[in-house]
Structure 1
Amino acid sequence: MPLYKTIQPNSQTTVKIWKIEESYTDLMQPLDLKPDSLERVLGMKSELHQRGFLSVRHLLREFGYTDQDLYYDAHGKPHLKDGKHISITHSFTFSGVIISASEVGIDIEMQREKIAIIAKKFVDYEFNYLSETDKDYIQKLTVVWGIKESLYKLFATPGMLFRQHFLVIPFMLKDGETVAWIDYQDRKYKYDTYFLEFEGFTCAYALG
């Protein structure tokens, strides 16, 4: 399946999501990969990861870019050669790319019950408004994780902790947006964050 969804949160920012239904061969065929990208994809043990990697390159094409336009810094953060900001994610059968004139981060997660087991590792302040008895507890935990992962990708600073340095303000699932803060080294940074759900997955993204 080609492009699954396109979202334009503002005039400078576009999100594109791909539903990965093609085979590895079909995804690989039309692409012109850099030698290091080809080496990377061939070295992946899981075909699911290979297809995720390749689907991201198809999303780049949807934006008018190629694999040659993308590079990674020492922290593993992706960049585009034209100076626009990019963030990338893939999870099981979906991948996503956000491109903007300002700093951005994106994450897609499958909604799974086991997130409740690790909640204490990434949730602190948010327990003030999250409750295990809520019928949408798993969905809300997934949103919190996705937003924090997006902020982590946006800020790209080693040593930051989800539980300690990121705060997600209370939200309703139907609203599809909230404010989040990074509180790091005595400085506070505020971000607008957005989220949506589809086919048992949650996509969250943060705008700088």
Structure 2
Amino acid sequence: MPLIKEIIEDNYRVLIWRVEENLDNLREGVVLREATKERFSKMKSEVHQKGFMAVRHLLSAAGYSDLDLRYDENGKPSLVDGSHISISHSFEYASIIIGTENVGIDVEMKRDKIKRIANKFCNTIELELATNAQNEIEVLTEVWCAKEAMFKMCESRSLSFKDDMNVLTGEKRAIVNNEIFKQLFEYKLIDLGNFVLVYALESKS
């Protein structure tokens, strides 16, 4: 299935792909850099391979290709024209966000097991809000996605999801605050049925 959703704003663009094709179909017409071919060859999961290829189709839909994609020493991607990009795929969904400023995106399946690990990435307030909500799994998945999207936007690889990040689901705002820096974020949520997608932007206020 091709692109299912596209959001275009002045300073960013979000594209979402639902992966229903087989791997051979997804590989058709995709040109990869040598480094990308090597990465792909080491992937053991076909689900991961399909999501990886679907991202390349999203790049094409946005006017780019794998040849335009670069990664820094921390694995953070960017585009050769200076645009910011963030990438996420999970099972049958792949997504990217491209922006003129720092951006982040994450998509995750709603699964019951998130309740078992919630105390590892949620602070006390987030846990209390989720536990008291009728849709606990959805709230916890939203918190996780928001923190993952922010993590992709931050330079520090040592951030603690539980201690350094705080998500205000009611306001769709979040903050990263540790000894190195403090940054405010705002985010948008897209409900994809059994999946939650969050994309984040640095807040101007």
Q: How does 1:113-128 map to 2 (within 5 A)?
A: 113-127=112-126
**Residue 2 of structure 2 corresponds to residue 6 of structure 1:** no
Contact 1:197–1:203 (8 Å) recurs in 2? yes
TM-fit CA distance, 1:127? 3.1
Tell me the alpha carbon deviations over residues 127-174 of structure 1, each in whole angstroms, 9 at most, x when there is no partner.
365142432111000000000000000113111010011111141xxx
TM-fit CA distance, 1:179? 0.9
Q: How does 1:181-200 map to 2 (within 5 A)?
A: 181-185=175-179, 187-200=181-194
Q: How does 1:1-208 map to 2 (within 5 A)?
A: 1-8=1-8, 10-127=9-126, 129-171=128-170, 178-185=172-179, 187-208=181-202
Tell me the alpha carbon deviations over residues 12-70 of structure 1, each in whole angstroms, 9 at most, x when there is no partner.
10110000011110011111111111121122111111101000000000110010000
Output the CA distance in 1 between the equivalents of 2:76 and 2:133.
35
- 1:41 partner SS: helix
Output the CA distance in 2 between the equivalents of 1:156 and 1:136.
32
- Seen in structure 2, the aligned counterparts of structure 1 residues 113 and 185 have a Cα distance that, compared at 3 Å, is same
Contact 1:126–1:168 (8 Å) recurs in 2? no
Contact 1:126–1:170 (8 Å) recurs in 2? no
Amino acid at match of 2:142: V
Equivalent residues, number: 202
- Seen in structure 2, the aligned counterparts of structure 1 residues 73 and 186 have a Cα distance that, compared at 3 Å, is closer
Tell me the alpha carbon deviations over residues 98-140 of structure 1, each in whole angstroms, 9 at most, x when there is no partner.
0000001100000001000000000004336514243211100
Q: Where do 5+ consecutive residues of structure 1 fail to align?
A: 172-176
- 2:44 partner SS: coil
- Seen in structure 2, the aligned counterparts of structure 1 residues 120 and 61 have a Cα distance that, compared at 3 Å, is same
Q: CA RMSD in A?
A: 1.4
TM-fit CA distance, 1:90? 0.3
Amino acid at match of 1:5: K
Output the CA distance in 1 between the equivalents of 2:132 and 2:185.
29
TM-fit CA distance, 1:187? 3.7
TM-fit CA distance, 1:194? 1.1
